Amino acid sequence: MTATLEAAAPSPAGEIPSFTVTLRIRRFNPEVSEEATWEDFTVEAHGTDRILDALHKIKWDEDGSLTFRRSCAHGVCGSDAMRINGRNRLACKTLLKDVNPDKPITVEPIKGLPVVKDLVVDMEPFFASYREIMPFLITSGNEPSKERYQSPEDRAKFDDTTKCILCAACTSSCPVFWTDGQYFGPAAIVNAHRFIFDSRDEGGSQRLEILNDKEGVWRCRTTFNCTEACPRGIEVTKAIQEVKRAMITRAF
């Protein structure tokens, strides 16, 4: 081995001193007890560490039974939405130093979906609502042999809502969804928006019809929790309002 290989393990920009943080995690394991409990863990962390890193440290070094979902670790797969210090966030996108590590950081599962174990919730109801709004391009008539054209301006109309990673941070931050699990929820509306405002799509009015449901867009009370929670920075409430306005224009 050559000496130069040492350089192959770079350290993060600048040397950041380590510090300790306490995570107060809401634990629940139906195999052990029907009750959820709070449990504190203290771990050593560095400046660029995220909540996910801290959770991994706990799982890998302290308590292997701590259960949570994760995959990409950089905010693009939508696996690890959870409630950190009272707000929905992605664990992999939240730096410890940004959530005041001086006090214990509370970590809970997202609200409104049945908890399966620790930080894992049942995502089926969430995806079911998503599937209901016909989240696919609907067109009729002859397919062009080349691509369909779309002007950059038309493309821009739904750009924001194409960013959704279906993490459920929005839907599970919505006060209406907490108490009324039948509400379609912002994520489903965002994904409907993505198609309703796509100039190539012809299924807009069907989707509007679906969301005109008692549990559809009118359920939204513009509390903006969804917009605040969205890790992709999607202007969720704005999208919902655009859908509402489209319905009104259609009705009058």
Partner 1 sequence: MAHGTAAVAKVDSPRSPYVRRKTTRGNYELYSWVFMRASGVVLLVLIFGHLFVNLMVGDGVHAIDFGFVAGKWSNPMWQVWDLLMLWLAMIHGTNGVRTIINDYATRDLTRGILKGLLLLAFTVVVVLGTLVIFTFDPCPPDAPAELLASFCTA
Partner 2 sequence: MQTHQYDVVIVGAGGAGMRAALESSKEARTAVISKLYPTRSHTGAAQGGMAAALANVEDDNWEWHTFDTVKGGDYLVDQDAAEILAKEAIESVLDLERMGLPFNRTPEGKIDQRRFGGHTRDHGQSAVRRACYAADRTGHMILQTLYQNCVKQDVEFFNEFYVLDLITDHDLTTEEIADGEEVNATGVVAYDLATGEIHVFQAKAIIFATGGAGKIFKTTSNAHTLTGDGMALAYRRGLPLEDMEFFQFHPTGLAGLGILLSEAARGEGGILRNSEGERFMERYAPTIKDLAPRDIVARSMANEVREGRGAGPNKDYVLLDLTHLEPAHIDAKLPDITEFARTYLGIEPYTEPVPVYPTAHYAMGGVPTNIKGEVLRDGVNVVKGLYAAGEVACVSVHGSNRLGTNSLLDINVFGKRSGRAAAEYAKTASFHELPEDPTVRVVEQLDEMRNRPDGERIADIRKALQDTMDLNAQVFRTGDSLNAALADIRELQKRYRNASVQDKGKLFNTDLLEAIELGFLLDIAEVTVVAAINRKESRGGHYREDFPNRDDANYMLHTMAYRRPTAASDQAEGHVEGYFDHVEEFDGYKVVLGSKPVVQTRYEPMERKY
Partner 3 sequence: MPTAPAGTLYRGREGMWSWVAHRVTGVLIFFFLLVHVLDTALVRVSPEAYNAAIGTYQTPIMGLGEAGLVAAIVFHAFNGIRILLVDFWAKGPKYQKVMLWVVVGLFVVTMAGFLPRHLINVFTGGH
Q: Site residues (CB under 6 A) for ligand HEM?
A: 221-222
Give how many residues touch ligand F3S by CB under 6 A: 14
> Which tokens in the block code for residue 168?
């459920």
| Contacts to partner 2 from residues 105-144, by CB under 8 A | 116-117, 120, 123, 127, 131, 134-137, 143
Q: Taking CB under 6 A as the rule, does residue 78 contact ligand FES?
A: yes
Q: Which of 103, 98, 93, 104 has its CA nearest to residue 70? A: 93
Residue (149 or 252) nearer to partner 2, CB: 149
137, 162 contact by CB (below 8 A): no
Residue 13 binds which of ligand FES, partner 2, partner 1, none (CB < 5-8 A, kind-dependent) = partner 2
- The span of 11-19, 47-55, 209-217, 224-232 binding partner 1 (CB under 8 A) equals 209-217
Residue (66 or 107) nearer to ligand SF4, CB: 107
With CB under 8 A as the contact rule, the residue among 29, 85, 162, 212 that binds partner 3 is: 85
With CB under 8 A as the contact rule, the residue among 66, 168, 244, 247 that binds partner 3 is: 244
- The span of 5-13, 73-81, 85-93, 134-142 binding partner 3 (CB under 8 A) equals 85-93
Cα–Cα distance list, 79 to 122, 165, 184, 218 (Å): 12, 9, 20, 28
User: Across-strand partners of 44?
Assistant: 20
Q: Taking CB under 6 A as the rule, does residue 226 contact ligand F3S?
A: yes
With CB under 8 A as the contact rule, the residue among 4, 221, 251, 252 that binds partner 3 is: 221
Q: CB of residue 249 vs ligand FES: minimum separation in angstroms?
A: 36
Q: Where are the beta strands (DSSP E) in the chain?
A: 19-27, 37-45, 81-84, 87-90, 105-108, 115-117, 120-121
Q: CB of residue 165 vs ligand SF4: minimum separation in angstroms?
A: 5
Residue (94 or 171) nearer to ligand HEM, CB: 171
- The span of 45-53, 95-103, 137-145, 215-223 binding partner 3 (CB under 8 A) equals 215-223
Q: Which of 123, 140, 119, 109 has its CA nearest to residue 206? A: 140
C-alpha 246/C-alpha 157 separation (Å) is 13
Instruction: Write the CB contacts of 7 (distance below 8 Å, at least 6 apart in sequence).
Output: none
Q: Which of 99, 208, 221, 114 has its CA nearest to residue 168? A: 114
Angle at 21 between CA 16 and CA 26, to 5 degrees: 140
Q: What is the contact surface with ligand FES in residues (CB under 6 A)?
A: 70-73, 75-80, 90, 92
